[in-house]
């Protein structure tokens, strides 16, 4: 079980990007098969076909590019922009009037329960994050061999998790031990 990176609870789009990550064994993809992807998107398993996976992973790659561009202070790939914009407009939300005990307006998806609705919600969140103050706090994890992004809530935070922080500290310690051994050998 992986702990969520800071910010995932505030941004589903950031959480989406982090579903593809690295561990000691190589790349891990939480959305690699339709059942897992449907569960992650809170959709019924039957609503996702194997062909649909690329719509999800394309959006994920595009959102990753937006976050990377933001943290590197450059413009994103035009194709990534278009992928996110296309996903955002694939499901329109319309105001609907209900009358429980008086008039009440609700914005509802025109395709409730569909993959388009789920992806549009993620794309809208991505647009919201990169254009809001939260976007200024998004950082890539600095630990070697980690591909996750996180929201830097404390100015000095450089890692997405204590696991990554511990790994960096252990590597630094190891380096120090080797250096000390080498300089001791140099003296003898």
Summarize as ranges the residues that interact with Zn ion (CB under 5 A). Answer: 141, 143, 146, 148, 160, 164
**Strand pairing of 93-98 and 104-109?**
antiparallel
- Nearer CB in complex with Zn ion: 18/83: 18
- Nearer CB in complex with Zn ion: 39/157: 157
Shortest distance (Å) from residue 17 CB to Zn ion: 12
Q: How far apart are CA 45 and CA 34, in angstroms?
A: 7
- Nearer CB in complex with Zn ion: 48/164: 164
Shortest distance (Å) from residue 5 CB to Zn ion: 7
Instruction: List the beta strands (DSSP E) in the chain.
Output: 20-23, 26-29, 93-98, 104-109, 138-140, 149-151
- Nearer CB in complex with Zn ion: 122/160: 160
Shortest distance (Å) from residue 153 CB to Zn ion: 15
Shortest distance (Å) from residue 171 CB to Zn ion: 13
Judged on CB neighbours under 10 Å (0-12, 13-18, 19+), 52 is middle
Paired tokens of 60 = 């994920």
């Amino acid at each position: 079980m992986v702990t969520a990176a800071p910010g995932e609870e505030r941004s589903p789009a950031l959480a989406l990007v982090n579903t593809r990550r690295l561990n000691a064994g190589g790349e891990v993809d939480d959305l690699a098969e339709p059942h897992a992807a449907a569960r992650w998107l809170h959709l019924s398993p039957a609503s996702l076909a194997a062909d649909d996976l690329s719509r999800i992973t394309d959006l994920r790659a595009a959102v990753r590019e937006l976050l990377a561009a933001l943290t590197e202070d450059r413009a994103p790939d035009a194709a990534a922009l278009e992928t996110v914009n296309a996903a955002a407009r694939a499901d329109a939300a319309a105001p609907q009037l209900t009358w429980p005990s008086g008039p009440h307006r609700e914005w509802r998806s025109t395709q409730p329960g569909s993959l388009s609705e789920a992806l549009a919600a993620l794309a809208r969140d991505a647009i919201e994050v990169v254009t809001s103050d939260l976007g200024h706090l998004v950082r890539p994890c600095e630990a070697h061999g980690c591909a996750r992004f996180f929201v830097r809530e404390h100015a000095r935070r450089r890692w997405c998790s204590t696991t990554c922080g511990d790994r960096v500290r252990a590597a630094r310690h190891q380096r120090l031990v080797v250096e000390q051994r080498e300089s001791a050998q140099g003296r003898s």
